[in-house]
Amino acid sequence: MPGGVGFFVRFLVIGLAVAAGLMGGWLTAAAEPGLEGVTGILNVPTAEVAKDGEFYIGFGRNENKVRYPGREQRNYFVGVGFLPRLEVVARYIDFPEILDPSVPGFGTRKDRSVNAKLQLLSEECAPVSVAAGMYDVGGRAVIERGTYGVVSKTIGPVRLTLGVGDKRLDGVFGGVEISPIPELDLMYEYDTYDHNFGVRLNPHPDWHLTLGSVNEDFSWGVSYGKVLPSNRNPKGKPPAQRAERMPLVTGTEAAELDELANRLARQGLVDVMCKSREGELAVKYENRRFRHEEDAWAFVCLWSAVHAPDEVERLRVVTRREHDFVVTTEFARDDLLAYVNGEMDGAEFCQRVAIHDYRSPGYEYSATSTMHAPKSGSTDVFFYPANSLELGAAYAPVKQRSGVGVKHYTSVAPRLTIYGKEEIPISNNLDNRDNPFIIRELLTYSRAWEPSFFGLAEAGYFGEHRWGGQIELRKYWDDSRLDLGVTGGWVRNKRTDDWEDMILASGSVRVPSLDLSLTGHTGRFLSGDEGFMLAAGRRFGGYGVEFFYFNTEYTENEAGVRFSIPIAGFCESAPRRFRVSVAPDFLYEYRTSAPYSAEFLHFRGSVDVHRAWLYPWHLREHLNLLRLAAGTGIDSGN
């Protein structure tokens, strides 16, 4: 050990001397995942973290000298820059050379963990970067745990790292990265056991291939990463062509408003209605075309500003969900066009536009159109990949069920819908189901009252042999930055021939600048499982991720993750009464514990999901969507 440390110190001195003589214009290695998923060199972490909103997935092969010296370790990992300076990595590891025949179905030794790294100081505002991290935040991993602190310093194209840790990194560790060109990083590290060397090849900014000698054994890894769009990483720019007034009708009489509403309905919006008074045009609509509600909102706002009659100077756009009025957007027509064309900056337009939870205008309109494209009677059928995964503990077999999922939504009447979800298994060693089965089949009724008070009731089959109903009431304040609610449910479990109930109080606080929601639930979950659940979720453009932690009578220090990813193939076109398509998003939940612990009847059937992120603060933070809508073109609906 002393000889290795001495070599490491000499290497650092040489590295400093080399760095001092190198050209300052060369690039420094970016924060990329090491072989075990945490951003770092090979085996050791650096004080840099994944960028805010950066998502990456990868694989790494190395040797674990701490647990199983001389044995191959395979690492499968997914990481995200969940908050500025906070990186979270989920990792599943497997030792293919270690078998345990005494455990039926065990296969090879394996484990899973959640790892986090928090950057306390950044070189952007301090002489060095400083970070603290933990392997296995929940404390349930059997094979790999540990905590560490680490410091990194960048000098030209060289980054130096020095840290100290325990367990997985037991002692002093460190290393050097040199980036002579963007496509190549040269790496050296001392991981408290061995001196390791490697190269990272970057053929594309999103793809990275790592090759190295780790613990005197050949190791390699590959990763793909992407910074997801957000209000901190906007994609909106002024369109190539100016957005100008192009009226579709000459006035605001009832017949002309009827034609205007009909033109908008041809664009794929439903329940469209137009009203006018004294130079103001009100447009009410519900989305059934666009993948996400905020995209539909941006389209309707811009379409109305472009195609309204010339005499209209102010617009009032009212967004519906299941016939309920949810959000109102009020703006001067010329202000929106000036912002879209880059003649007004976002800060000024944000001050001029009014976005708030729905409330009656307090006056009467002089002319009204009929309702066009009523949603009632329409049906959507969506297909999506389905998967249920049980990684188990360190000494349990992996179980999974994969197949095709089918969702269907039928609007029976205003506020009343039938929602169903079925699955067709293709491979299954989780519960050995071979035939298609129903996951849930519910009749849902929603209702909104002013100001910002929502109710939701569901009845039917909730899955897992449960039949019954639930109701939720939720009140929002401060542009929906705060809310409090209560949920109650009562179901019959046909499997146990017993009644189950739940009663939960919940509340959320939202941070607009980060698109961050912090939510807590407490009370009695299903099966009398009393305790609490805490969740932190973020939106990155059309992507969403939420981490949650729960502690109940049946569990202790358990956690999980939910995420949504847009699915390629969803068709954004004017819908018909009956529509079949790929689902807009892939929604997934994974829990570290067995099912039924801290379980809701149907966590996606909440009022928050009903609102679909139609929060005033969220739309105000994403005004750049108006420019994106202009860049895709605004058709007249002929």
User: What would the mean pLDDT of 10-31 be, rounded to a whole number?
Assistant: 51
Question: What is the amino acid identity at position 102?
Answer: S
User: What would the mean pLDDT of 251-275 be, rounded to a whole number?
Assistant: 95
Domain co-membership, 139 together with 223: yes
Domain co-membership, 176 together with 74: yes
Q: How confident is the model at residue 4 (pLDDT cuts 50, 70, 90)?
A: very low
Domain co-membership, 73 together with 172: yes
How far CA 73 is from CA of 59, 111, 221, 506, in Å, comes to 11, 11, 12, 42
| pLDDT score for 107 | 64
User: What would the mean pLDDT of 386-410 be, rounded to a whole number?
Assistant: 84
Indicate the pTM of the whole model: 0.89
For residue 600, being part of any structural domain is answered with: no
Domain co-membership, 205 together with 284: no
For residue 537, being part of any structural domain is answered with: no
Q: How confident is the model at residue 98 (pLDDT cuts 50, 70, 90)?
A: confident
Domain co-membership, 153 together with 265: no
| pLDDT score for 327 | 97
| pLDDT score for 604 | 58
Average pLDDT, the chain: 88
Question: What is the amino acid identity at position 580?
Answer: V
Res. 2: pLDDT tops 70: no
| pLDDT score for 231 | 64
- Domain that residue 283 falls in: 254-372+621-632
Domain co-membership, 221 together with 263: no
The terminus-to-terminus CA distance of the chain in angstroms comes to 78
Domain's final residue, options 174, 208, 227: 227
How many independent structural domains does the chain possess?
2
Domain co-membership, 215 together with 264: no
CATH assignment at residue 33: 2.40.160.40
Res. 351: pLDDT tops 80: yes
- pLDDT tens-digit series, residues 438-494: 999 999 999 999 889 999 999 999 988 999 999 999 999 999 999 999 999 999 999
| 365 vs 593 pLDDT, higher one | 365
Percent of the chain's residues with pLDDT above 70? 90
Question: What is the amino acid identity at position 607?
Answer: V
How far CA 74 is from CA of 64, 213, 431, in Å, comes to 10, 15, 27
| pLDDT score for 215 | 82
Q: Which residue has the tokens 């899955």?
A: 463
- Residue 571 has a CB neighbour count (10 Å cut-off) of 12
Beta strand pairing status for 437-449 and 453-463? antiparallel
b/e sequence 172-211, b meaning 16+ C-beta within 10 Å: ebbbbbbbeeeeebbbbbbbbbbbbebebebeeeeebebe
Domain co-membership, 135 together with 267: no
The CA angle 267-270-273, to the nearest 5 degrees, is 95
DSSP assignment string, 399-428: EEEEEEEEEEEEEEETTEEEEEEEEEEEEE
- Residue 359 has a CB neighbour count (10 Å cut-off) of 11
Domain co-membership, 170 together with 287: no
- pLDDT tens-digit series, residues 502-531: 999 999 999 999 999 999 999 999 878 899
| 30 vs 423 pLDDT, higher one | 423
| pLDDT score for 236 | 57
Residues 196, 106: Cα–Cα separation, whole Å? 33
User: What would the mean pLDDT of 50-58 be, rounded to a whole number?
Assistant: 94
For residue 284, being part of any structural domain is answered with: yes
Q: How confident is the model at residue 329 (pLDDT cuts 50, 70, 90)?
A: very high
For residue 379, being part of any structural domain is answered with: no
| Radius of gyration, CA atoms only, the chain | 28
- pLDDT tens-digit series, residues 191-247: 998 899 999 999 999 999 999 998 888 999 999 999 987 765 566 566 767 899 999
Own/partner pairs for 362-367, CB < 8 Å, 24+ apart?
Answer: 363/277, 364/277, 365/275, 365/276, 365/277, 365/282, 366/276, 366/277, 366/278, 367/252, 367/253, 367/254, 367/257, 367/275, 367/276, 367/277
Task: For CA atoms 266, 267, 268, 273, give the dihedral sign.
Answer: negative
For residue 150, being part of any structural domain is answered with: yes
Residues 560, 563: Cα–Cα separation, whole Å? 10
| 8 vs 354 pLDDT, higher one | 354
Q: Mapping DSSP to helix (H, G, I), strand (E, B) and coil, where does residue 625 land?
A: helix
Domain co-membership, 54 together with 191: yes
Residues 196, 213: Cα–Cα separation, whole Å? 6
DSSP assignment string, 555-618: -SSEEEEEEEEEPTT---S---SEEEEE-SEEEEEEESS-TTTT--S-GGGSHHHHHTT--HHH
| pLDDT score for 239 | 72
- Residue 144 has a CB neighbour count (10 Å cut-off) of 22
Contact 213, 219 (CB under 8 A): yes
The structure tokens listed for 282 are 């009100």
Res. 12: pLDDT tops 60: no
Task: For CA atoms 361, 363, 365, 369, give the dihedral sign.
Answer: positive
Domain's final residue, options 227, 262, 293: 227
| pLDDT score for 11 | 47
Q: Mapping DSSP to helix (H, G, I), strand (E, B) and coil, where does residue 9 land?
A: helix
| Helical residues (DSSP H) of 153-308, grouped into ranges | 254-265, 293-307
| pLDDT score for 199 | 95
For residue 456, being part of any structural domain is answered with: no
Q: How confident is the model at residue 104 (pLDDT cuts 50, 70, 90)?
A: low
Residues 344, 296: Cα–Cα separation, whole Å? 22
Res. 543: pLDDT tops 70: yes
Domain co-membership, 56 together with 183: yes
Residues 75, 553: Cα–Cα separation, whole Å? 33
DSSP assignment string, 57-90: EEEEEEE-TTTSTT-EEEEEEEEEEEETTEEEEE
For residue 258, being part of any structural domain is answered with: yes
The size of the chain, in residues, is 638
For residue 444, being part of any structural domain is answered with: no
| pLDDT score for 26 | 46
Domain co-membership, 212 together with 330: no
- pLDDT tens-digit series, residues 451-460: 899 999 999 9
| pLDDT score for 412 | 95
Contact 518, 512 (CB under 8 A): no
Domain's final residue, options 227, 246, 262: 227
| pLDDT score for 511 | 95
